């Protein structure tokens, strides 16, 4: 992966050194000490993933993210890194546009898995393209990857927990639709998108991303049909999962 590059944005020298030691074995990296420096570097060079601390002098992480998004400086995933780790903090960071949130102190294994996921996640299809393309409902190689670090029983539990959470998220989305609280749907789709991408639910990931993009653009015209399609992809994934040998 030495052809992939990560930008580490953190004002704390010790934190930067820790991230460098974790990342340097697998990826190229660059560093910035605040949001302003990060923006200048992003303007000049491409980074495959950006790790963005929240509290920094001169320009904090949230303000930097806003500028990056408004000026379309990069489409690369930006991961928020912060000591603030409550559920409300996580939801706040995700709602501002970060692709993921990780709490300090960051575990090396979690950090590397997150970077790998964002670099290797499937490209989001254009809204005008049908979601039933050559992408399968389930990336079966994901189980093989997970078995390198987990027992079969643990993997089963992870997928069952995912299905339970996904069903809950989709139910919440339905409630928001019924109550015409459309703008609140994006946060639930963002969580669903991230988790489905991590566990290889490819069609669910792709459609969640497309649906989320529609919500961001206040495109609610086909929201009922989009919700039905979301249910369909989850059900298809559930069927494919049951076909796996570990079950």
Residues 244, 141 contacting (CB under 8 angstroms):
no
pLDDT in tens, 95-120: 888 999 998 888 888 899 999 989 88
Domains delineated in the chain: 5-120 (3.40.50.2300), 141-242 (1.20.120.160)
For residue 158, what are its two tokens? 């992870």
CA distance 105 to 107: 6
Per residue in 206-222, pLDDT tens?
Answer: 888 889 889 988 999 99
Structure tokens at 110: 């979690």
pLDDT digits (tens, 9 = 90+) for 160-196: 899 999 999 999 999 999 999 998 999 999 888 888 8
Torsion of CA 11, 14, 16, 19, to 10 degrees: -140
φ/ψ of 100, rounded to 5, equals -165, 160
Contact 89, 62 (CB under 8 A): no
Can you read off the two tokens belonging to residue 48? 């495959």
Residue 229's pLDDT band (cuts 50, 70, 90): very high
Name which of 68, 80, 63, 76 is nearest 10 in CA terms: 80
Listed as own residue / partner, the contacts of 123-127 with beta carbons closer than 8 Å and 24 or more positions apart are 124/206, 124/209, 124/210, 124/213, 125/206, 125/210, 127/210, 127/213, 127/214
């Amino acid at each position: 992966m030495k052809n992939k590059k990560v930008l580490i944005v953190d004002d704390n020298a010790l934190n930067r050194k820790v991230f460098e030691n974790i990342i340097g074995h697998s990826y190229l990296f660059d560093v910035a000490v605040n949001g302003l420096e990060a923006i200048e570097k992003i303007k000049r060079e491409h980074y495959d993933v950006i790790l963005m601390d929240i509290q920094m002098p001169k320009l904090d992480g949230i303000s930097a993210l806003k500028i990056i998004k408004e000026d379309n400086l990069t489409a690369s995933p930006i991961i928020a890194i912060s000591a603030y780790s409550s559920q409300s903090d996580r939801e706040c960071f995700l709602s501002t546009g970060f692709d993921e949130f990780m709490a300090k102190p960051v575990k090396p294994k979690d950090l590397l898995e997150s970077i790998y996921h964002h670099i290797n996640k499937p490209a989001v299809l254009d809204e005008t393209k049908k979601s039933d393309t050559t992408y399968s409902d389930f990336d079966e190689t994901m189980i093989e990857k997970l078995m390198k670090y987990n027992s079969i029983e643990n993997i089963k539990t992870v997928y069952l927990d995912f299905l339970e959470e996904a069903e809950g998220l989709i139910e919440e989305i339905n409630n928001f639709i019924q109550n015409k609280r459309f703008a609140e749907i994006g946060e639930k789709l963002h969580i669903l998108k991230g988790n489905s991408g991590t566990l290889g639910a490819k069609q669910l990931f792709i459609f969640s991303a497309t649906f989320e993009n529609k919500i961001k653009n206040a495109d609610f015209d086909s929201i009922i049909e989009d919700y039905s399609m979301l249910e369909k992809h989850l059900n298809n994934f559930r069927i494919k999962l049951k076909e796996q040998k570990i079950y």
